[in-house]
Amino acid sequence: MCGRYGFAPGEFREIKLRFTIGGDIPLINSRYNIAPTQQAPVIARLEGANRVELFQWGLVPSWAKDISIGNRMINARAETLAEKASFRRLLKNRRCLVLANGFYEWRKEGKGKVPMWFKLKSSEPFVFAGLWDAWK
């Protein structure tokens, strides 16, 4: 996955219907540069219903001694997901959908990089697969 993405909620009624959301949706402002460690909207199955919640981007496993590990755990590769201890136990019950309208990939230009914005042709919101955990 990319390292930056954006989400502009648009019409929440559509999101509620499309993803069968139960309960209220928190107030979410449009954001076009969501980065690791920031709060971001996700759809998670909580208390028997799909709910939109704000989760911090960066997985902090429940067993971690320090919250800063979440700064480094922002991507999981599908091909090794079931093998890594950090992700394996979350696959069954701790999956979520990360709401997005687009994401950035970087193109090298000379000595620098230029962000390239990717979105659906329709500009509709879409989701990334995600995993979550609770850390205390």
- Catalytic annotation on 96? no
Indicate the DSSP class of residue 38: S
Among residues 84, 68, 66, which one has the least CA distance to residue 76?
A: 84
Tokens matching residue 93: 């019950």
Please report the DSSP string for 64-130 in residue order.
-S-GGGGGT-----TTTTTT-HHHHTHHHH-EEEEEESEEEEEEEETTEEEEEEEE-TT---EEEEE
- Catalytic annotation on 14? no
Distance CA 64, CA 56 (A): 15
In the set 11, 14, 105, 124, the catalytic residue is 105
In the set 2, 14, 47, 83, the catalytic residue is 2
Catalytic residues: 2, 105
